[in-house]
Amino acid sequence: MWVRKWLSENRRECYGHYSTLLNELKIEDDKAFFNNTRLPRGLYDEVLRRVEGRIEKKDTWYRKSLPPGLKLSITPRHLASGDNYPSLFYNFRVAPNTISLIINEVCDAIKEFAAEVIQCPTTTEEWTAIAEQFEKRWQCPHCCGALDGKHVAVTCPWNTGSEYRNYKGFFSIVLMALVDADYKFLWIDVGSDGSSNDASIYNGSELKEGLESPNNIFNLPEEKSLPGDDVPVPYYIVGDNAFGINKSPMNPFPIRNMEHHDRIFNYRLSRARRVVENAFGILAHKFRVFLRTMNQRPGTCRKIITTCVILHNLIGLRYPATHNNMMDLEEQNLNVIPGAWRNDKVLLDVYHERARNTGTQEGRQIRRYLGHYFTSKAGSVPWQDKMIL
């Protein structure tokens, strides 16, 4: 069988990216290795140990199988750079059609981690722990997560017409996520077509079903009074105006005709909502495949997106300091230092199509009460008036 010499097994082992540069970086330069793969070296080794049994193939009489380390190296390089398959072909000396198979295979294997790192809470204790972190870090009591959705650009899937075309005119699929106070993805919905809006995706999700179930199947904590107060208030998640006025997601007051306590409420809510904005920004800053147009089939795009979220959570759990220079930081005077992700092209928000008079009376009452609580002696923070000037 004829093979171009530079693609031969011997040449690949001598001169390919995996055997040369990546091996040098792994031995000599941890920082450069992370920049190349977006995985700390220790995490790369951990993932390889976990998945190699699933991605290793047997040698045949006419060809040796590709080593699991090579397969794993190709996949995070694609996720980290967004390089297309022909570019990876020349770097790794592996044919594009084989690279396509490898990326699907490795993403399927990495999904093994999903159950342990993307965990939507199901017990009262877990929800309470998340709410305590939001109160401690972002002064938003009873908040159990921040919800938002973003468009991920894709090429138009075959024979789908305008189904995947979003309101900005390009084709996309939607990643919707619930994030905790530490930028960890708790729940994701991947793959809705770009013509969808936030509210329709959320309304059809198991997240809404669990949070709003009369039987409380997600075991949210019972209503409890806020610190320094005696009125029971439910636990909630925060979102934007796309979701209507409900007790969950809780969203900001419209900007017209706001009173002082409305503006304070919006500021306090925005601090909690900034977590999900940063989580998406960090995700795309690390895995720049999000900043390119994915040209794979929708099923493969979903696998890639899910894999990136899994790796993001793994990095946050094992190596949390790697996020420090990527996320927004607050100075002592509470001015925000923009994170490194804000220098990139950002993921596009999902279209906010609100129907008239959406929401519930209960949601309006809770929002109004929180606004007054945040301006009371018990619920205010010293700097808030300065921040709304």
Question: Are residues 373 and 252 both part of a single domain?
Answer: yes
Q: Is the pLDDT confidence value at 175 over 60?
A: yes
Distance of CA 149 to the CA centre of its chain: 9
Domain boundary among 80, 97, 114: 114
Q: Are residues 62 and 141 in the same domain?
A: no
310 and 111 in contact (C-beta within 8 Å)? Answer: yes
Does 95 lie in the same domain as 229?
A: no
User: Tokens 């750079």, residue?
Assistant: 81
Query: Which pLDDT does position 357 carry in this prediction?
Result: 45
What is the model's pLDDT at position 198? Answer: 82
Residue with tokens 């990136």: 308
Check pLDDT > 60 for residue 169: yes
Contacts of 87 (CB under 8 A, 6+ apart): none
Q: Say whether both 160 and 260 belong to one domain.
A: yes
186 close to 118: Cβ distance less than 8 angstroms: yes
- What value does the mean pLDDT take over residues 290-308? 95
Return the SS3 of 153. strand
Token representation of residue 239: 């979102």
Query: Checking DSSP bridges between strand 336-337 and strand 329-330, what pairing results, if any?
Result: antiparallel
The conformation of residue 254, written as its DSSP 8-state character, comes to P
CA distance 123 to 181: 17
pLDDT of residue 358: 53
Q: What are the distances in angstroms from CA 73 to CA 18, 91, 92, 184, 214? A: 7, 11, 9, 24, 47
16 bridge partner residues: none
Residues 57, 156 share a domain:
no
Copy the structure tokens of residue 174.
């939607």
Q: For the residues of 58-91, what is the DSSP string, one character each?
A: ---SS-PPPPHHHHHHHHHHHHHH---HHHHHHH
Mean pLDDT of 336-363: 71
Please, which pLDDT band fits residue 306 given cuts at 50, 70 and 90?
very high
**So what's the pLDDT on residue 343?**
83
User: Mean pLDDT, to the nearest integer, of 84-97?
Assistant: 92
Over residues 56-71, mean pLDDT: 84
Range of the domain at 129: 118-387
| Average pLDDT score over residue span 191-218 | 88
Residue 355: pLDDT over 50: no
Report how far residue 135's alpha carbon sits from residue 379's, in angstroms, rounded to the nearest whole number: 11
Kindly report, residue by residue over 2-37, the tens digit of the pLDDT. 567 777 777 888 788 888 898 999 999 999 999 999
The mean per-residue pLDDT over the stretch 110-124 comes to 92
Of 93, 114, 135, which marks where a domain is finished? 114
Q: What is the arithmetic mean of pLDDT over 358-376?
A: 85
**239 has a pLDDT exceeding 80:** yes
221's CB contacts (< 8 A; 6+ apart) are 124, 127, 128, 131, 235
Q: What percent of the chain has pLDDT over 90?
A: 61
Q: Which residue has the higher pLDDT, 4 or 54?
A: 54
Q: Report yes or no: 285 and 308 within 8 Å, Cβ to Cβ.
A: no
176 C-beta neighbours (distance < 10 Å), count? 22
Q: What is the mean pLDDT of residues 93-119?
A: 93
Mean pLDDT of the chain: 89
| 3-state SS, residue 293 | coil
Q: Same domain, yes or no, for 145 and 100?
A: no
pLDDT at position 333, please? 74
pLDDT attached to residue 248: 65
Same domain, 95 and 215: no
What is the mean pLDDT of the segment spanning 303-323? 94
Would you call the peptide bond into 338 cis, given omega within 30 degrees of 0 as the criterion? no
Show which of 85, 114, 143 is a domain's final residue: 114
Share above pLDDT 70 across residues of the chain, in percent, rounded to a whole number: 95
Query: Which H or E run contains 224?
Result: strand 224-225
Residues 334, 371: one domain? yes
220 and 360 assigned to the same domain: yes
Res. 356: pLDDT tops 50: no
User: According to the per-residue pLDDT averaged within each range, which of 163-167, 185-189, 200-204, 211-215 is highest?
Assistant: 185-189
b/e burial code for range 106-130 (CB count within 10 A of at least 16 → b):
bbebbeebeeebbebbeeeebbbeb
> Domain check: are 259 and 374 in the same one?
yes
User: Per-residue pLDDT tens for 245-286?
Assistant: 566 688 888 888 889 999 999 999 999 999 999 999 999 999
Phi, psi of 196 (to 5 degrees): -75, 160
Query: What pLDDT is stored for residue 359 in this prediction?
Result: 58
Do 94 and 219 reside in the same domain of the chain?
no
Q: Which residue in this structure is represented by tokens 């390119």? A: 292
User: What whole-number distance in Å separates Cα of residue 278 and Cα of residue 274?
Assistant: 6
Total count of domains within the chain: 2
Q: Are residues 183 and 262 in the same domain?
A: yes
pTM over 0.85? The answer is yes
